[in-house]
Amino acid sequence: MNKALIIIDMQNDFLPGGSLAVPGGDEIIPVINQLSKEFNLVVATQDWHPQNHGSFASNHDNKKVFEMGELNGLPQMMWPDHCVQGTFGAEFHKDIQMNHVETIFRKGMNPKIDSYSGFFDNGHQKSTGLAGFLLEKKVEEIHFCGLAADYCVYFSIKDALELGFKTVLIDNATRPIDAENYRNQKHELEKMQNFSLVSF
């Protein structure tokens, strides 16, 4: 069975010192680097927001960071500015070994809609092309790692399952923003067909 490793958003802004740092995000870097050597196909996703992105609290007069709002008719968490195109925060962390990564799929470029999943925007209006790429490579099973567990990793997994891939979450190669939320999501995912939770 053809397998792929997808590394989700290991960018400076999601790591300690970044504008949207995930607690303990740097702890998974050695695990991901080791994992990358185990797969023939490794793909990365990259949050790549324009400065005027509608998910940034700073682009709204009356919104605070981490407040729920609405964007284009969809519920939207208001985030601090992060992973702005061309900035240091959007770059992959220097300790992530990118030499095994075959290609990078960027997301979150449309200022009118957020994109947590590596496959689609949050409204499923536009594909990133990741699914087509994996199908062309005859991938049947996808292993996920990266940040943040309860947002971009979780929604990527949901889409992968919906698309019919066997899907594996590597629990010790991800970290959440909200640990309780992540626990609930894992319980939900474990009830789904074609999903498994492992540690490397």
Q: Which residues are catalytic?
A: 9, 107, 152
The structure tokens 């050597």 sit at 37
* Among 152, 113, 188, 160, residue whose Cα is nearest residue 3: 160
Of 71, 67, 62, which is closest to residue 114 (Cα–Cα)? 71
The answer to whether residues 152 and 9 touch, using CB atoms and an 8 Å cutoff, is yes
**Centroid of chain to Cα 79:** 15
Nearest-angstrom CA–CA distance, 86 and 17: 18
Q: What 3-state DSSP class applies to 146?
A: strand
111 burial (CB, 10 Å; 0-12 / 13-18 / 19+) is: middle
Report yes or no: 150 and 176 within 8 Å, Cβ to Cβ. yes
- CA proximity to 70, closest of 126, 147, 26, 123: 123
DSSP 8-state symbol, 32: H
